[in-house]
Amino acid sequence: MSSDWAREMAKLLRSGATMLSYNCPECGSPLFRLKSGEIWCARCQKRVIILREGEDEAAVVQRELLWENLERAILRKLSSLSNLLSGEEEPERIREIAESISTLLASLQRLRRLKK
């Protein structure tokens, strides 16, 4: 085992990644599930998608891209609402913005749970 990717594997574990019982289809090294839910090969330095038996690769990739785009959109909206909230003085408007933030955070949490 090369010391460079052994260090990378140790770094992933320290950052909270979980080593899986699956191996990379290209290099055979262990795969890791990152906190984001992505599956990563430390040796190849790339994302890996694991298909279930009978699952269509194109459909899985499309679903993954949809989830990533949805997550980015939610994070952008949260950032915008955060900026609005910091400059708002009217209590009713503050309540509306806070409710929107709460809804988006709940959606983000559900999305991340689904990704795992």
pLDDT along the chain (116 residues), means of 10: 77 91 86 86 83 64 74 93 94 96 94 75
Look at the alpha carbons of 74, 98, 95, 77 in this order and tell me if their dihedral is positive or negative.
Answer: negative
Domain of 97, in residue numbers: 57-115
Mark whether 41 and 62 lie in a shared domain: no
Mark whether 77 and 108 lie in a shared domain: yes
Q: Is 110 helix (H, G, I), strand (E, B) or coil?
A: helix
Mark whether 108 and 63 lie in a shared domain: yes
Mark whether 61 and 110 lie in a shared domain: yes
Domain count, the chain: 2
Please choose, from the candidates 30, 25, 26, 28, the residue with its C-alpha nearest in 3D space to the C-alpha of residue 51: 25
pLDDT of 57 reads 60
Mark whether 20 and 68 lie in a shared domain: no
What lies within 8 Å, CB to CB, of 31 at 6+ separation is 19, 20, 22, 23, 24, 39, 40, 41, 48, 50
Mark whether 43 and 70 lie in a shared domain: no
pLDDT of 84 reads 94
The torsion angles phi and psi of 3, rounded to 5 degrees, stand at -65, -30
User: In this structure, are strands 18-23 and 46-48 parallel, antiparallel, or unpaired?
Assistant: unpaired
Mark whether 73 and 97 lie in a shared domain: yes
Q: Which residues pair with 23 in a beta bridge?
A: 30
For residues 50 and 22, the answer to whether their CB atoms sit within 8 Å is yes
Mark whether 94 and 61 lie in a shared domain: yes
